[in-house]
Structure 1
């Protein structure tokens, strides 16, 4: 009897079951219009559902208009944005994938340039294109770096409104048909900036010691969990380390994960760094295959919590080994899915799970199976580079 690869074993999270452990990570497209998704997003995300992934995440979606990373980032701060999200969610469901959404607020990184224009603070050229700046917000009046705007330090009233807006956005995500919600607590954005002592210099109940710096993340998670139905899972993405000794640490992440689990968060999505500079900056860490997997492994072991590994996981054997060794429960694929939207299906062939195109959509699978029988046609597998 053939043993089913762990990468293709279903996973049950509360009331949903994924068809496999492959997750398409949220990847900003910077192509929304006043926070609204369009055909680009439906096609971009739809191809991953057709390509066999178990869970497909829509990119970071702002709960407030000023919470966008760039002018091209989507939101759910108004009901008019629901239909675009519904198209994405419904398409994914029809093609066997679980639609998921990452809810966030850019905080002091709000109002940046689109990356192809520089990935920094807005300048005169951006304003000439029509991207007008706004005042970013954060835990303290501490800019991301020299030359970046000084953020407005959120008041208690601002924080109360923010938490309400997270809950309201979660309700809109539910109305759109998403089955998983993730709170974005990583990469230097607002929630992460409250967690990190590098950016949080507050002396009130939302600053100071670890409990104070965690307060906002926990209050948001509690409110979102109250809105999100009991039968649907809630994720939290963390930057497990800031990458500097004086910053947020892996020990801090373990404590946070324990508190989030108590509230009802089901999965810790373990990334890292980004408190200063680009969201994908490594924070001084050596970027090598699977360089962040150890964070997911530590949380899984110490907190007894389901975790998702992400970061330079590019080929099926690597992903399968992470799961088989008990280091994580889900594998998030990002840029490698941009190279190969059918990564999951090619991985199934590589691991010997699907040799007859049975997990491909019928519209494609029957063609490919027929050609395989009648010719020497070679269907490439994912090699060690993920190509």
Structure 2
């Protein structure tokens, strides 16, 4: 029988608390020792839901290695800044100033007296091709970790949102899923929930909808670029920090008039006439942005349970930005459960073997 363990956790790049919620949902017992982030808005949201006690608004690289050693943390959870690796960013990798803190952690890891037994790292697809990933692998191998690297989308867990992310699971001692294949397979697609379960407001006449409706100027300029989904859809695009402010490649748009299927048709004789026709058609669809709570729910935050909310003073734009920088709680909770459960089982097995007079060899190698 697996022994229970009370894990000591350091949460790096804590944002709005995604890793905190993921650890809670993993079913493991533990304590968040410190949560590090320098984003004021994100820290306000974190404090609103988890309190200020463990928050540390400090540059990670400004904290001496001795401090991290003194914590004697079992687990490091981290989601470093993704801008150096994203396809819409500069792809400067480790040359980007925003990678400095991550490189610092990788530098001190092999030098620590009390390094963590487990590390979970999340980042955008693209990180696996960066030089930062090379630094990660070098640090893990140099410090005696075995590790697995994964590319996972929430669609594999039945969540109707595309958010392909790189994960590295490491413990002391390439699998890219095809999203289109998941949805084209009748049996697999049925396991993905429809979006209607995540929709907060369904009546276009609801006064609260006004701030989320797409303005006419945006409909005309970007209507052809929208990724439009309905309540019955089993997929939505990845929501980024630019959602609600920018249109292209920032997330899906919800069609409230789900029974309609409108096409532009043949182009009119002149641009003004064509634009007027297109606008009239688009208006009938009742197009709107997903609300911040709907996005949060798609990302696994416990909104309905009343365990996650935003401070009233957090602006709508800020809410979307911090969500876009966060993790999918549901996906990471499963990964934490897998990482820590398999390790504690191994610890129990080795303890039993040792008590039986065996001395199993302990090997550490990369996957």
TM above 0.5, yes or no, is no
- Greater gyration radius: 2
TM-score (norm 2): 0.30
